[in-house]
C-alpha cells in the first residue's frame, strides 16, 4: 500500500467539525438545479442533515436566496426561466453574503450554458465544482468535454483550477478519481470514492449541493469543500461494498451519507 502524506492545510478534525456543524444546524439550501437530478439531490441533502428547497422561479429566487443558508446553481438543464432565476439568486446571494456554488455542467461543449456560466462568474461564487473538462473550459483554456463527461484528467486541470480560483476568489473543486480542491494558494487532494457514482444520475450534481451545505456552516471554504468531497467519497466506498450494482448503490449511498459519523469521517478520509 502506498503511503499518502496528510494534508498540511486541512486536518481530519476540520472534517469532523464540518459534518457536525451541518448536522446540528440543518442549513437551508436553495437548489437551482437540473430537472434530471432534482429528486436525487433533495434526498441527498436530507440524508446529510440539510434542508433542500428547489426554488428557481424568477419571482421567488431573489427572495429565497436572502433567507437560504446556501445556494446551488447547477447548469444541467438551463431553460430560459431558470437562467433568469439563477442570475437573480446569485445576485441576491452576493448582497446577503450567502455562499453559493456554481456547477458548470457541460460548459464549453454547449454555447447557452457557457455564456451563462461566464456571466455567473462575475457574481462571485464561493465554490466552483466541476469535472476537469468543465473547469478547463470555464477558465477559458479549452473547449469542454463530451457533453457532461470529462475528456481531461484531474491533473491536467490543475493550472486552470489555480488560475480560476485566483481570478474569482472562489474555492475550485475538480472532481475525478482523485479530487483536487484549491483556493489558488492552498491545494488539497481527496482520495477514494467509487466509480459507481458515475453510473447514477445526479452523482456529481448532488455533490454541488453538499458543497453548498458545508460552505454554509464553515468559516473556511477550502476546509468545508474538502470535507464535503471526503464525506461523499467515503459514503460511496461504503455503499459500493453493500450494493450489487448502480441501483442498489444509489439506495445504499443515501443510507451511508446518513450513517457516517463525524469521528468516522475524520478517521477514514484520505486527504493529502
Q: What pLDDT does residue 153 have?
A: 83
What are the counts of helices (DSSP H) followed by strands (DSSP E) for the chain?
Answer: 11, 9
Q: What pLDDT does residue 1 have?
A: 38
Question: Could you tell me what percent of the chain has a pLDDT over 90?
Answer: 89
| 202 in a known ligand binding site | yes
Reduced to 3 states (helix: H, G, I; strand: E, B; else coil), residue 258 is helix
Residue 272 in this model has a pLDDT that exceeds 90: yes
pTM, two decimals, is 0.94
Dump pLDDT digits (tens) for 144-177: 555 555 557 899 999 999 999 999 999 999 999 9
Dump pLDDT digits (tens) for 15-34: 999 999 999 999 999 999 99
| 238 in a known ligand binding site | no
In whole angstroms, give the CA distance from residue 96 to residue 251: 36
Neighbours of 112 (CB within 10 A): 12
Closest CA to 51 of 36, 34, 72, 82: 72
| 175 in a known ligand binding site | yes
Q: What pLDDT does residue 3 have?
A: 54
- Residues 105-130, mean pLDDT to the nearest whole number: 95
Q: What is the DSSP string of 73-131?
A: EE-SS--HHHHHHHHHHHHHHHHTT--EEEE-TTBTTBHHHHHHHHHHHTT--SEEEEE
Q: What pLDDT does residue 2 have?
A: 43
Classify residue 72 by its DSSP letter: E
- Residues 203-227, mean pLDDT to the nearest whole number: 96
At a CB cut-off of 8 Å and minimum separation 6, what does 192 contact?
230, 233, 234, 236, 237, 269, 270
Give the CB-side neighbour count of residue 134, counting CA atoms within 13 A.
Answer: 27
Neighbours of 116 (CB within 10 A): 19
| 156 in a known ligand binding site | no
Dump pLDDT digits (tens) for 42-84: 999 999 999 999 999 999 999 999 999 999 999 999 999 999 9
Domains defined along the chain, listed by start: 12-271 (3.40.1190.20)
Amino acid at each position: 500500500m502506498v503511503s499518502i502524506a496528510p494534508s498540511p492545510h486541512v486536518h481530519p478534525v476540520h472534517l469532523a467539525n464540518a459534518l457536525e456543524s451541518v448536522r446540528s444546524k440543518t442549513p437551508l439550501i436553495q437548489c437551482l438545479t437540473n430537472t434530471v437530478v432534482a429528486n436525487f439531490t433533495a434526498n441527498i441533502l436530507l440524508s446529510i442533515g440539510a434542508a433542500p428547497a428547489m426554488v428557481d422561479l424568477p419571482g421567488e429566487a431573489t427572495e429565497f436566496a436572502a433567507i437560504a443558508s446556501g445556494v446551488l446553481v447547477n447548469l444541467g438543464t438551463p431553460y430560459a426561466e431558470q437562467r433568469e432565476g439563477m442570475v437573480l439568486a446569485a445576485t441576491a446571494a452576493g448582497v446577503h453574503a450567502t455562499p453559493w456554488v456554481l456547477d458548470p455542467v457541460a460548459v464549453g461543449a454547449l454555447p447557452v450554458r457557457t455564456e451563462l456560466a461566464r456571466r455567473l462568474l462575475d457574481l462571485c461564487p464561493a465554490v466552483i465544482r466541476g469535472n476537469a473538462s468543465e473547469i478547463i473550459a470555464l477558465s477559458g483554456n479549452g473547449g469542454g468535454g463530451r457533453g457532461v463527461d470529462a475528456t481531461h484528467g484531474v491533473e491536467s486541470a490543475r493550472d486552470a483550477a489555480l488560475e480560476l480560483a485566483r481570478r474569482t476568489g472562489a474555492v475550485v473543486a475538480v472532481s475525478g478519481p482523485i479530487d483536487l480542491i484549491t483556493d489558488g494558494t492552498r491545494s488539497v487532494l481527496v482520495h477514494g470514492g467509487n466509480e459507481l457514482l458515475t453510473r447514477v444520475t445526479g452523482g456529481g450534481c448532488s455533490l454541488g449541493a453538499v458543497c453548498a451545505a458545508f460552505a454554509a456552516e464553515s468559516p473556511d471554504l477550502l476546509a468545508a469543500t474538502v470535507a464535503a468531497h471526503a464525506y461523499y467519497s467515503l459514503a460511496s466506498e461504503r455503499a459500493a461494498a453493500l450494493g450489487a450494482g448502480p441501483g442498489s448503490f444509489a439506495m445504499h449511498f443515501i443510507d451511508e451519507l446518513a450513517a457516517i459519523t463525524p469521528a468516522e469521517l475524520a478517521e477514514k478520509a484520505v486527504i493529502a
